[in-house]
Amino acid sequence: MMHKIVLITGATSGIGEATAKILAEKQYKLILCGRRQEHLQKLEALLSSKTEITTLTFDVRNKNAVFTAIESLPDSFKNIDILINNAGNAHGLDSIHEGSIDDWDAMIDINVKGLLYVSKAILPVMVGQQSGHIVNIGSIAGKEVYPKGNVYCASKYAVDAITQGMRIDLNAYNIKVSEINPGAVATEFSKVRFKGDIQKENNVYEGFEPLRASDVANLIWFIISQPKHVNIAESLILPTAQANATTINRK
């Protein structure tokens, strides 16, 4: 059996790392990408007994680095079957008139442009193969805007629109395009958003059980393991305590 080749961005922590662990168990061949080389090397050491793995260190914001890294893949990893656009971030939680332009740039550059750069680098392979699967990690913030979410929500609404556009444009090439929109997941997300403010970070998940990264990773595995004629186009995954972006049952 030919093992499918999966490229995962943002594989150094959170959902990306959890997905790598699950897919290694299922013996997919993995291309693990991220900015922190030492994290990638540790993950490769942990999982290389289960499957073939290679790593690429680059920042999705840097388009030249994206294309150079992906072009450098060894021949045995070039024919990518599945792309998981997982790299993303939230910076700050401020009213629009108080927001930091640097924070806005970071969210748009990573969540929107980074996703586009990686997809652009890989799509010629999928189009040439007349097959493939792209899984974009969106957010509940791409379905409803919440107070102080402004630019972060805008970036995830963009992911939603790009996903729909991809699905239409790639339909003729038998390429599946799926989107997963998680609610509250306990990852480094809040650490980044609140820039190390432990109190604010802890408040996010206080009084309820959030999703774990492995819960989202299980859903990714379920989506990519469907038969050829099935595409789970969109999925919203929430912890039981969460009803929408702002309604959380805290004890």
Residues that are catalytic: 152
To the nearest 10 degrees (0 to 180), the angle between helices 63-71 and 115-129 is 30
The Cα–Cα gap between 163 and 153 comes to: 15
Q: How far is CA 119 from the centre of its chain?
A: 12
* Nearby residues of 11 by Cβ (< 8 Å), 6 or more positions away: 17, 19, 20, 32, 33, 34, 40, 43, 55, 86
First-residue to last-residue Cα distance in the chain: 49
Record the tokens describing residue 155, joined without a space: 């970036």
Helix (H, G, I), strand (E, B) or coil at 82: strand
C-alpha closest to that of 212 among 8, 11, 1, 19: 19
